[in-house]
Amino acid sequence: MTRETRTTIDVSDIVAIEFECSKCHSKTIRHLDNWHKTPIGCGNCDEQWMLPHSNDFKNLELFVSMICGITGKAMPFRLRLEIKADGTEKSKA
Ligand SMILES: [Zn+2]
């Protein structure tokens, strides 16, 4: 017998995005229904995370826009993201 355990989250379950500074590990959270400004740096140690108008910045804003666009509509399918279940971090900066 083979058993597979998968952990998924429904895109509609995403309510906020958390940013954790790689330098000082301070965290800031932006709720999708109250997103005013994409952070470009750490509010604690002033580390710059990305430049405004950079590809990283544009991709992040597009990512948020896509999540908001998907969760606000009734779709004929459910979209789930599979996440790692072993609790280990993929990479450390
Ligand atoms: Zn920081």
pLDDT digits (tens, 9 = 90+) for 38-68: 999 999 999 999 999 999 999 999 999 998 8
Q: What is the pTM of this model?
A: 0.77
* Range of lowest pLDDT (7-11, 26-30, 62-66, 70-74): 70-74
d(CA 90, CA 82): 14
For residue 50, give the amino acid letter. Answer: M
Question: 23 alpha carbon to ligand 1 midpoint, in Å?
Answer: 5
Could you list which residues have their CB under 5 Å from ion ligand 1? Answer: 21, 23-24, 26, 42, 44-45, 47
- Domain limits, the chain: 7-83
Q: Are 21 and 40 in contact (CB under 8 A)?
A: no
